[in-house]
Amino acid sequence: MRIVIIEDEAFAARRLENMVKEFDPAIEIAAKLESVKESIVWFKNNPQPDLIFLDIHLDDDLSFAIFKEVKICCSIVFTTATDELATRAFQLKGIDFLLKPIIQADLNKMISKYKKVNNQQCPVNPDIFEDIINPR
């Protein structure tokens, strides 16, 4: 399994990577990205991972902005320190939501869930991006 971590806090990204490796050392961390801009460049130049851990609030924008520029066809787990945008994140068909600080047991359950479900359809619907950012 190949994972991409999109997280603007270096400590949180490193902690998440360590937790993933604790769950399964065979999981490959394909990239750790810190911004919307960096993520867009990476996705345009690399094959899609199996799973993305995506912080909703990044320094340069909400991570939803990534979907305006690139088509994401893998499963997404949204992470954030607040649950304010969690419901809207699920409208993008995220497979789970982890509230920070992430707990190892919750991460383990989520990865096990992913391995059971492993939806190969393109889960992100970029057409609803504007409704998520600017709800009526």
> Read out DSSP for 11-75?
HHHHHHHHHHHHH-TT-EEEEEE-SHHHHHHHHHHS---SEEEEESEETTEEGGGHHHHS---SE
Confidence of residue 1 (pLDDT cuts 50, 70, 90): very high
Ordered structural domains, the chain, with CATH? 2-128 (3.40.50.2300)
More confidently predicted of 112 and 84: 112
Among candidate residues 89, 16, 74, the one with its CA nearest the CA of residue 42: 74
pLDDT greater than 90 at residue 83: no
| Lowest mean pLDDT across 16-30, 96-110, 121-135 | 121-135
